[in-house]
Structure 1
């Protein structure tokens, strides 16, 4: 990322990764942050689910970044959120609730099909943002969360904004799943953690459905058109499965903002 790139980042600079601890700990993150310091940009640092063996390293990385720049940290791991509670209390970082923590059944491609035989009350309770819950709201307040990141669902996002009363950050994709072992590294036979040195793992690997496994029949079946539709617009990037959003129509309200740019 050069100075010119930083200059056009109207919504701020996004570093780190929602799915990969190695990218978060890579030396380039600190180099980018130092460039951003001169531009007086607030940096959003995405963090993933954190393995225990890397927890101390990532906490130190957050501490180091907070000394360099104004830092928003997107938390996708409750353990890391707890570990950084002092940094939050001392206002050294701006805490953000990430999409791994805000996922719900609403994000499942075939959720409506799964809920077909349920009554209206059950559907209303399950087919909703997970933050539409008093206990989750209390958690946001406890950790002084300043923003939340969610997958974009136009029919639900206005109601969410009225309940949480915090800035809502959306992206031009939807996060569906995070693997325990990196999808891209396994598929491309990349060696961990050296894969963070190359950009192969950042390639978008599109889904192509040719057949599906029938657990009942114990054999492969030809997928029908409905199933193909469920899998359309899905891709793997690094350790995360995403869905493209092809028609992002957002009526920006006072507490709903767009965040579409990665550095």
Structure 2
């Protein structure tokens, strides 16, 4: 199993060389999976490359869902990154990135589909398990395994992804899905799991902007040092990060035992949630 590190809020780093990288980390990730404004600028790409080379780590860049304007900017960045002449991993939460790689023949890029591109009914935790209790009508109506499947468990979808040269896929930390994810590993797909958190919901309009910024003002990235701890009578604890709502799931070593091989990596993302996990 590989242990991955994810550098968050790197857009605000004045001295990127000051970052301390743990020895057990095999890969350094730059960018943000939920907000394009928090991804690296063109000027910072080279600094990120130098940092990973300094520590002898793999280099990855994360991109969220993109609008038409943003995807054109990313297209230019991908061409720049491909010119590094070394393997670079691109975590794409927008399938259009894989199409850019394919159409421009960017041979040095390896695309990993981000978890936003993966559909899993059980993602709506912790409400879903309670809805599917053994005495509930849903559990009597349908096989629970249907709720554990992802869209990748459909063979035609998996075949389509392989034809587009997808290197791997990311999943939320949902232990109930792991036995089915194991089947994807047997198909040769590399699996990445976000440690201890699940993306419950995502919106196009940023929640944090509505809360923090004055009406009519543009985004000033005020949210970069602000996270929100939410509570709902059905879903219990939730966490707001920009336009994403996350749930914390306690990490257990035994949950990942069946995934613990060369095709599996654990992503230690959103570390700030840990302080809320009891």
TM over 0.5: yes
Q: CA deviation at 1:176?
A: 1.9
Deviations 1:20-78 (A, max 9, x none): 11122535641323322343422221111101121110111122223335311111112
The equivalent residue for 2:11 is none
**Residue segments in structure 2 that go unaligned for 5+ positions in a row:** 1-15, 272-278
**C-alpha distance 120-28 of structure 1, shift in aligned 2 (>3 A):** farther
The residue matched to 1:49 in structure 2 has which SS?
A: coil
Do residues 167 (structure 1) and 190 (structure 2) align?
A: yes
CA contact (8 A) 2:148 2:176 kept: no
CA contact (8 A) 2:42 2:77 kept: no
Which one of the candidate residues 41, 49, 63 is aligned to 1:33? Answer: 49
The equivalent residue for 1:152 is 173
Do residues 242 (structure 1) and 246 (structure 2) align?
A: yes
What TM-score do you get using the length of structure 2 for normalisation?
A: 0.75
- Is 129-138 or 98-107 further displaced after alignment? 129-138
**Normalized per residue, which structure has more strand?**
2
Do residues 205 (structure 1) and 220 (structure 2) align?
A: no
The residue matched to 1:50 in structure 2 has which SS?
A: coil
- Backbone CA RMSD of aligned residues: 2.7
Q: CA deviation at 1:13?
A: 0.6
C-alpha separation in 2, matches of 1:146 and 1:93: 10
Deviations 1:85-134 (A, max 9, x none): 245x5422011011001132110122345564345545433442232111
- Is 62-71 or 150-159 further displaced after alignment? 62-71
**Residue segments in structure 1 that go unaligned for 5+ positions in a row:** 210-222
Q: How does 1:110-149 map to 2 (within 5 A)?
A: 110-112=127-129, 116-118=136-138, 119=140, 121=142, 123-149=144-170
What TM-score do you get using the length of structure 1 for normalisation?
A: 0.79
Which one of the candidate residues 251, 254, 257 is aligned to 2:265? Answer: 257
- Is 12-21 or 111-120 further displaced after alignment? 111-120
The equivalent residue for 2:208 is 184
The residue matched to 2:198 in structure 1 has which SS?
A: strand
CA contact (8 A) 1:235 1:243 kept: yes
Do residues 85 (structure 1) and 119 (structure 2) align?
A: no
